[in-house]
Amino acid sequence: MARLRDCLPRLMVTLRSLLFWSLVYCYCGLCASIHLLKLLWSIGKGPAQTFRRVAREHPPACLNDPSLGTHCYVRIKDSGLRFHYVAAGERGKPLMLLLHGFPEFWYSWRHQLREFKSEYRVVALDLRGCGETDAPIHQENYTLDCLITDIKDILDSLGYSKCVLIGHDWGGMIAWLIAICYPEMVMKLIVINFPHPNVFTEYILRHPAQLFKSSYYYFFQIPWFPEFMFSINDFKALKHLFTSHSTGIGRKGCQLTTEDLEAYIYVFSQPGALSGPINHYRNIFRSV
């Protein structure tokens, strides 16, 4: 009996782990099936257009607008990765570091670069695997530990020990974790559209409705298929994210311009450009 009592806790942990991963992959399969049905439906409606994917060859002028700041690159010694960022404002001023979400890149912060450059050294970073920043091939290179270390190394490379840290969506998750792991690096923390990680984890486990709303987390666990879905029909799904009533910018007069939308399509139409951002999500359950 004593031996059984000793083994019981380990057995419970094993069973909980098996149940957790069974639920994850069953839900992944369900999400994939739903998206596959949508794909087959679109094929039936317009087969001539469904699989057309057009990679943009020339960047729109807005990506090289000098009023937004200067394009810079820095190579991190430990990881060997080259990071791209756009910086505005004088060197020596307090640093404001901007971390974008998905599916985005530095250009999402174009308004903030103009607005705050008089008071701060504003840096809009392309996260690992996004935009012009290097994108490692292997999924294991996108763990939360790697992403947190990236921000710490970037801060060191810029010559700062602390910053005003602002994150949106997935960048908000990273910003929370930076504040938790390295509070001395954060003068002020602003997080947009992402709750505290502990709150989010507890809430999603207790509220099934949120599980369905966050179904894309599970869909992104599937190899290559999410990238395919985003890119078919000339990146129609990507355009939908930015322009639809449910996920696009809602305020009148604030919608993306045609040139803005073309900037996003240009970046994500480059070969392999979707895999890096999606790989961020492919490690989330291991982190949880």
Is residue 248's pLDDT more than 80? no
Contact 145, 174 (CB under 8 A): no
Structural domains in the chain plus CATH codes: 62-192 (3.40.50.1820)
Q: Give the neighbor-by-neighbor strand order of the sheet with 163-168.
A: 70-75, 82-88, 121-125, 95-99, 163-168, 186-192
Q: pTM to 2 decimals?
A: 0.86
Q: What is the DSSP string of 156-169?
A: HHTT-S-EEEEEET
Quick one: CA dihedral 144, 148, 153, 154, positive or negative? positive
- Predicted confidence (pLDDT) per residue in 103-112, tens digit: 999 999 999 9
Arithmetic mean of pLDDT, 214-242: 86
Confidence (pLDDT) at 162: 97
Is residue 13's pLDDT more than 80? no
Q: Comparing C-alpha atoms, which of 60, 46, 38 is closest to residue 107?
A: 60
- Predicted confidence (pLDDT) per residue in 171-197, tens digit: 999 999 999 999 999 999 999 999 998
Confidence (pLDDT) at 47: 47
Is residue 24's pLDDT more than 50? yes
- Predicted confidence (pLDDT) per residue in 127-168, tens digit: 999 999 999 999 999 999 999 999 999 999 999 999 999 999
Contact 165, 175 (CB under 8 A): yes
